[in-house]
Amino acid sequence: MPFGDQPADKAKATDVAKRILPPNPKAAAIVAVGFTLVLYLVELLDVILPADLDHGGIVSRQASGLDGILWAPLLHAGWGHLFSNTVPVLVLSFLAMAAGIGRWAVVTAIIWIVSGLGVWLVGPSNTYTVGASGLAFGWLAFLLVRGIFNRAFGQIVVAVVLLGVWSGMLWGLLPGNPGISWQGHLFGALAGVLAAWLTARGDRPKKKAAGSLEV
């Protein structure tokens, strides 16, 4: 074995930081499709069952609506709402697994909770907020800034393409569109930036202590 610093750990960390596609595309596709199918199953149950499942969404600034943070991304206000979220959820969730499914689960949990808390704090009163669009905005923001934090040119290029494809989503960050939770979109995007910053710190190779030598 040659003298000097061993490059294996650093090379592995660099590979994770600059990866564009999931390390196991088949498994990532199964997870993305599986999550989307869960959304369709929940909507089907909402249609079949006499109870209105959408009432399990987030009700802002009410203690009884706080648990809606857990359920809101799984619920949709009709098939049209779900159809509009399907492609972004499929594509963005798949690409967000570039650092692995475990990392994606952490990123998704951050977006899920932070966006839900944001809606609960500043969302409109006396309304139920539902939908996976907060997750979609979070994943998009995560992908947009992850390349910047990791200084990965390939990720930045992909992010620019995504921004071009879904540039219309940016209008969802602004108030004034009736029936659209811009709060969920905005806090989802902010949560995606937070998740990118937190996880990018773990992607970077750790610096060796001064004076250390590995053989």
Contacts of 165 (CB under 8 A, 6+ apart): none
| CATH 1.20.1540.10 fits domain 8-203 | yes
Segment holding 92, helix H or strand E: helix 79-95
Rounded Cα distance between 154 and 137, Å, is 21
Looking at residue 103, its pLDDT comes to: 95
Decide if 156 contacts 148 (C-beta within 8 A): yes
CA angle 205, 152, 35 (to 5 degrees): 90
Taking the C-alpha atoms of residue 98 and residue 84, their distance in angstroms, rounded to an integer, is 24
**Range of lowest pLDDT (41-50, 60-69, 87-96, 170-179):** 170-179
Q: What is the mean pLDDT of residues 139-164?
A: 87
* Band (153; pLDDT cuts 50, 70, 90): confident
78: left (phi over 0), alpha (psi -120 to 50) or beta: left
Of 18-22, 121-125, 175-179, 203-207, the poorest mean pLDDT is in 203-207
Instruction: Give the residue, 161 or 113, on which the prediction is more confident.
Output: 113
- 105 token code pair: 């689960």
Query: How crowded is residue 11: how many other Cβ atoms within 10 Å of its Cβ?
Result: 11
By three-state DSSP, how is residue 129 classified? strand
pLDDT over 90 for what percent of the chain? 60
Query: Which two structure tokens, joined as six digits, stand for 65?
Result: 């609506």
Helices (H), strands (E): how many in the chain? 8, 0
The mean pLDDT of 152-169, rounded to a whole number, is 82
Rounded distance between C-alpha atoms, residue 66 and residue 46, angstroms: 20
Structure tokens at 190: 């902010």
Can you tell me the mean pLDDT for 105-115?
Answer: 98
Residue 48 pLDDT grade (very low, low, confident, very high; cuts 50, 70, 90): very high
pLDDT > 70: what percent of the chain? 82
Range with the poorest average pLDDT among 26-40, 94-108, 180-194, 200-214: 200-214
Write down the pTM of the prediction: 0.85
